[in-house]
């Protein structure tokens, strides 16, 4: 009997709670019969150009390793570490005295060879005269001719040795082959360094600063998009046209620097499936440095009329994006959409919305399908920007 009484009490309590819930809640979870107050706006239709963003780093257009071409003691260093240098500036001097001695010897050798060639020339002329009078044999004349040819060859060899000795003396003065910013000196004065066409001692490096390039990689999907845009005529290929780009440094909030596309590689990297691209920027103040990371944006479309709404109006339902719109009778309507990029602070909607739709922009978290709404009209603020200009 006690068990039946307990069951009866529990049943009565459950019925009482259910009755209270039915009286307090409406179909959308709010007070019964009351419409949910929300703010709604119609999308903005604006003619824009989309920008695709990439992360990359700066790279010098020219980069040179300064190596010794002759061996010897490093006699002097003629630059400040990290300074800007002009093309032709003297950087290092290797002790030139051994090479100046070789140059003097080569100069003397060419004088000796020229004297021997002069003697051989006189002997040949005399032999030619004697041969005409029958005073010498043909064989003697031929020997004089061969001596003349050998003497001329000796002169040419001596001249070549002289030029080589002059080059070695010139190579003792190491000058900047390009203008740019120099690194530190890697070898201190007084050290014996090795020279040669290969394996010469690395003394320092120079990189060009102005202009400078920015390298980045685009995915295969992006590459295909750009190719199709070029084929359709909506956006020219960066292989053919210096498409504009904009750049933002790590400490900047906006894309303040303008440049242009200067290179697109001829194949995708098979290990990463990406395409290498480069953009060129003027750098007169030396703000950009090789190796510095930055964010770049590139033209990602031709001009078109885009549907723009606040990004916070778009919600996620498992695998799809959607918005709430005001339907007939001011009832909430679920509307799947395909979002695009952010442009001037607003989200592009590629499909699912039109300019006449009334989109719920605030209070979206309380809306349910078919819920009665009390819409308050508001205009979406049109933030100015470069994307639509």
Handedness of CA 183, 189, 195, 198 (dihedral sign): negative
Residue 23, pLDDT score: 40
- The pair of structure tokens assigned to 84 is 């800007």
pLDDT at 81 > cutoff 80:
yes
pLDDT per position as a tens digit, 164-208: 999 999 999 999 999 999 999 999 999 999 988 788 899 999 999
Residue 333 has φ and ψ, to the nearest 5°, of -125, 130
- The pair of structure tokens assigned to 52 is 């695709």
Tell me how far apart the alpha carbons of residues 21 and 247 are, in angstroms, rounded to a whole number: 58
Nearest to 168 by CA among 92, 90, 103: 103
Residue 296, pLDDT score: 96
pLDDT class for 64, splitting at 50, 70, 90?
A: very high
Residue 33, pLDDT score: 56
What is the model's pTM? 0.69
The number of angstroms, rounded, from the C-alpha of 346 to the middle of its chain's C-alpha atoms is: 28
Residue 154, pLDDT score: 86
Residue 290, pLDDT score: 94
Beta pairing class for 373-377 and 36-41: parallel
Residue 341, pLDDT score: 86
Residue 2, pLDDT score: 41
Tell me how far apart the alpha carbons of residues 213 and 238 are, in angstroms, rounded to a whole number: 15
Fold of the domain built from segment(s) 54-61+209-299: Elongation Factor Tu (Ef-tu); domain 3 (2.40.30)
pLDDT at 280 > cutoff 80:
yes
Q: What is the pLDDT of the chain when averaged over all its residues?
A: 86
pLDDT at 386 > cutoff 80:
no
Choose the CATH number for 26-49+304-377 among 3.30.70.120, 3.40.50.880, 2.40.420.20, 1.10.10.10: 2.40.420.20
Residue 387, pLDDT score: 46
pLDDT at 10 > cutoff 80:
no
- Domain boundaries along the sequence of the chain: 26-49+304-377, 54-61+209-299, 96-169
pLDDT at 389 > cutoff 90:
no
- The pair of structure tokens assigned to 361 is 């922009």
Residue 106 has φ and ψ, to the nearest 5°, of -65, -35
| Rounded average pLDDT over 14-19 | 37
Tell me how far apart the alpha carbons of residues 214 and 276 are, in angstroms, rounded to a whole number: 11
| Rounded average pLDDT over 66-90 | 94
pLDDT class for 383, splitting at 50, 70, 90?
A: low
Neighbours of 124 (CB within 10 A): 19
Same fold, 54-61+209-299 and 96-169: no
Tell me how far apart the alpha carbons of residues 109 and 156 are, in angstroms, rounded to a whole number: 11
The answer to whether 151 touches 116, Cβ cutoff 8 Å, is yes
Percent above pLDDT 70 for the chain: 89
pLDDT at 83 > cutoff 70:
yes
| Rounded average pLDDT over 20-32 | 43
Assigned CATH class of 96-169: mainly alpha
pLDDT per position as a tens digit, 244-259: 999 999 999 999 999 9
| Rounded average pLDDT over 33-52 | 88
Residue 219, pLDDT score: 94
pLDDT per position as a tens digit, 101-158: 999 999 999 899 889 888 888 877 887 777 777 777 888 777 888 888 888 898 899 9
Residue 22, pLDDT score: 41
Residue 382, pLDDT score: 62
Residue 31, pLDDT score: 53
Beta pairing class for 180-182 and 63-67: unpaired
- The pair of structure tokens assigned to 260 is 């242009």
């Amino acid at each position: 009997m006690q068990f039946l009484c307990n069951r009866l009490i529990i049943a009565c309590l459950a019925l009482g709670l259910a009755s209270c819930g039915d009286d307090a809640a409406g179909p959308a979870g709010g007070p019964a019969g009351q419409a949910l107050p929300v703010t709604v706006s119609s999308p903005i239709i604006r003619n824009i150009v989309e920008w695709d963003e990439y992360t990359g780093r700066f790279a010098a257009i020219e980069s040179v390793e300064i190596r010794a071409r002759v061996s010897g003691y490093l006699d002097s260093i003629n630059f400040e570490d990290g300074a800007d240098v002009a093309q032709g500036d003297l950087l290092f001097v290797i002790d030139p005295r051994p090479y100046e001695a070789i140059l003097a010897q080569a100069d003397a050798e060419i004088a000796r060879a020229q004297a021997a060639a002069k003697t051989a020339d006189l002997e040949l002329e005399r032999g030619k005269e004697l041969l005409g009078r029958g005073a010498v044999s043909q064989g003697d004349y031929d020997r004089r001719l061969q001596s003349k040819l050998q003497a001329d060859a000796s002169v040419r060899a001596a001249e070549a040795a002289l030029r080589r000795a002059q080059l070695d003396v010139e190579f003792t003065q190491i000058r900047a082959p390009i203008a740019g910013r120099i690194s530190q000196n890697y070898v201190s004065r007084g050290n014996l360094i090795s020279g040669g066409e290969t394996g010469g001692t690395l003394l320092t490096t120079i990189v060009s600063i102005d202009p400078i390039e920015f390298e980045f990689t685009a995915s295969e999907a992006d590459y295909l998009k750009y190719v199709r845009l070029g084929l359709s005529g909506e956006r020219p290929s960066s292989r053919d046209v210096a498409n504009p780009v904009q750049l933002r440094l790590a400490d900047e909030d906006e894309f303040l620097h303008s440049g242009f596309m200067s290179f697109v590689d001829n194949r995708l990297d098979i290990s990463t499936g990406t395409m290498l691209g480069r953009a060129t920027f003027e750098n007169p103040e030396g703000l950009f440095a090789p190796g510095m990371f930055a964010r770049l944006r590139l033209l990602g479309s031709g001009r078109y009329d885009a549907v723009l709404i606040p990004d916070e109006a778009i919600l996620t339902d498992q695998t799809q994006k959607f918005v709430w719109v005001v339907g007939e009778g001011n009832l909430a309507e679920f509307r799947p959409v395909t979002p695009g990029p952010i442009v001037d602070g607003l989200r592009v909607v590629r499909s699912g919305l039109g300019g006449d739709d009334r989109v719920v922009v605030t209070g979206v978290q309380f809306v349910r399908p078919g819920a009665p709404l009390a819409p308050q009209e508001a205009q979406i603020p049109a933030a100015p920007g470069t994307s639509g200009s």
